[in-house]
Amino acid sequence: ETEAVAGLALQGPTSFALLRDAGFAGVERLKIFDLAEFPHDGGAVTISRTGFTGDLGYELFVQAEKALSLWDRLMAAGELRGIRAIGYTALNRARLEAGLIVANADFTTAEHAIRADRLRMPDEIGLGFMIDLEKSHFNGRRAILEARTKRKLRHVLVGLEIEGNIPAEHAIVYHKKSQEVGLVSAAMWSPMAKRNIAIASLARPFGDTMVEDLWVEIYAMRELQYQKLMKRAKVVQRPFIKLDRRTTNPPADF
């Protein structure tokens, strides 16, 4: 977090065309996760082909005093392409459709866990592929290795598809409608996937080797009264939507 650098996310199918129209020559050469500097207002803007959505998108970083001129440049270039500012609620929905997780929302980090049994290891949140045990010492190496070799991984983060169209945010997950096995951390009716989707943390073996007969307990407000609904949940792969344009090179001109 800094006051010296301004960050801006430009996401969506027209993001490449918009940057090109704004005069950022060569932006079409950026592949997914690439970044490069481009001239702007007597200085430079760093553009990376990244973003917290599952769509084609970019993130722009510029000196704080150049932020307003960058905003104006993008808004002018995007006027005919329907550019608009969005808030965190819309961004959160886009990241959920993409199956992306948020620290201290979908999992609790070691730095923030008050109770020792509430933190999560990388393998328990789908990030085990990022761990290289062939490296020299790093914080957590011994604990991760022990958990893997002694099968002490206690949780698993899964995607759920839930029957009906009522979001199950913060709903309790049950096995056979009776045994509590986990909690939903993010949920929505997805306008793109046309499904009722959720991310949930479950206690193994549920969500891992046992994926049948799972239910979520939803409290729906109906005429000023909450009604408890038990809806069947199915473990599904993330991301919930996968758009080829996110990684296509060069990006398509929408």
Binding residue positions:
59
DSSP letters of 148-199? Answer: HHTT---EEEEEEEESSSS--TTPEEEETTTEEEEEEEEEEEETTTTEEEEE
Binding residues for substrate: 59
The helix (H) or strand (E) run that includes residue 72 is helix 67-78
Instruction: Read off the amino acid at residue 175.
Output: H
Contact residues for 119 (Cβ-Cβ < 8 A; gap 6+): 108, 109, 110, 113
| Residue 54 to residue 242: CA distance in whole angstroms | 7
| Residue 19 to residue 150: CA distance in whole angstroms | 51
